[in-house]
Structure 1
Amino acid sequence: MATPTKVSAVEEITADFKESTAAVLTEYRGLTVAQLKQLRRSLGQETKYAVVKNTLTGIAAKEAGIEAFEGQLAGPTAIAFIKGDAIAAAKSLTDFAKDNKQLIIKTGFFEGKALDAAGVAALAALESREFQLARVAGVLQAPASAAVRTIEALRAKLEEANGGAAEAPAEAEAPAAEAATEEA
């Protein structure tokens, strides 16, 4: 018979699964409380790292429609429920596991797809979405003068490659460069 405590624990874990874009199942045997605290800090505020009961987690995963953890719920288990940048969290977990051999990454899921330990490592190897967005935003918000400087630098390289004389296509770009300067 299910106790109210176990029912609420299953409901909480189910909600964590449903609210997360990714989750990573780990074994933490041998880690100290201080090391677990350090791991939680490195994961950031949008990731919840929780020690879980295997039986209750299995029930919650089935209720949430997640099959990635079947056969993996054995031994001391903790799950990183990732609500933010899954790539950054996976990178934090893999970096921590490299420095602390006691942390074993077993399996995970990302956007509804099951990942094995190698899949989590591959996810960690990708560029962070925040970095990608910042890089794109930086390019899109570049002032016109930066674009003009880039065009001028390209023109100079073209002239240098052609022995001091720019080809017609480079001259065709000149009105566009002047228009960009006037807009700035």
Structure 2
Amino acid sequence: MSVKAIERKHQEVTALVERMQNSKSFVILDYSGLTVEQVTKLRVELLENNCEIAVIKNNITRRAAKELGFDVLAENLVGPNAVAFSNEDSVSAAKIVYDFAKDNTALELKVGVVDGEYMDNTNIQVIATVPSRDTLLTMIAAGLLEPIKEVAIGLDLMAQKLENPEESSVE
């Protein structure tokens, strides 16, 4: 192998390491069996959610994963793989790929790294089914507001009872 080829591969690995470090999460997926149209649809869906997908040689991905300390990730780099990166939200890429795989059974979500922690297939699927951050915040807000609403209703009923004691008494 020529010195130029070795240097080019080293640069590719360095660029991938930087990309992996700068993303909130990334997942490895097997896209074999998908049509060009399906891959394009997945790419567009990922881009709309501030995520990216890239087909990267397994050897480059393996070297980058090892450099980041994710040797176990390298074991899953067999066959045609792509890497989906999530730039803003830790679960977006996994969620989009997981949902896309429901309708496109040829797509397989393999493994990934979420917030710097290795996730096997089972954990990635759990992460992918977690509601989005906005949904979780809405659920928390609703949970916090429910007791306040109940207190307000109770106080209103008490106020009505005090204003009209004859109407609220049981006969």
Q: TM-score range by the shorter chain?
A: 0.7 to 0.9
- Counterpart in 2 of 1:154? 154
List gaps (5 residues or longer) in structure 1.
166-184
Identity of aligned residues (%): 32
User: Quick one: which amino acid aligns to residue 130 of structure 2?
Assistant: L
Q: Which of 99, 113, 128 pairs up with 1:109?
A: 113
In the alignment, is the contact (CA less than 8 A) between 1:72 and 1:107 conserved in 2?
A: yes
- Counterpart in 2 of 1:82? 86
Question: What's the CA shift for 1:135?
Answer: 5.7
- Counterpart in 1 of 2:165? none
Distance 1:32 1:148, change over 3 A: closer
What TM-score do you get using the length of structure 2 for normalisation?
0.77
- Counterpart in 1 of 2:26? 23
List gaps (5 residues or longer) in structure 2.
162-167
User: Quick one: which amino acid aligns to residue 19 of structure 2?
Assistant: D
Q: Which of 31, 42, 47 pairs up with 2:45?
A: 42
Provide the C-alpha distance between the structure 1 equivalents of 2:24 and 2:157, rounded to a whole number of angstroms: 46
Question: What's the CA shift for 1:106?
Answer: 1.0
The two structures, once aligned, show a CA RMSD in angstroms of 3.2
| Paired residue secondary structure (1:52) | coil
What TM-score do you get using the length of structure 1 for normalisation?
0.72
Provide the C-alpha distance between the structure 2 equivalents of 1:94 and 1:41, rounded to a whole number of angstroms: 15
Aligned length: 158
- Counterpart in 2 of 1:5? 8
In the alignment, is the contact (CA less than 8 A) between 1:68 and 1:108 conserved in 2?
A: no
Provide the C-alpha distance between the structure 1 equivalents of 2:38 and 2:12, rounded to a whole number of angstroms: 25
Matching of residues 90-101 of structure 1 within 5 Å? 90-101=94-105
Distance 1:78 1:133, change over 3 A: same
Provide the C-alpha distance between the structure 2 equivalents of 1:96 and 1:10, rounded to a whole number of angstroms: 28
In the alignment, is the contact (CA less than 8 A) between 1:26 and 1:103 conserved in 2?
A: yes
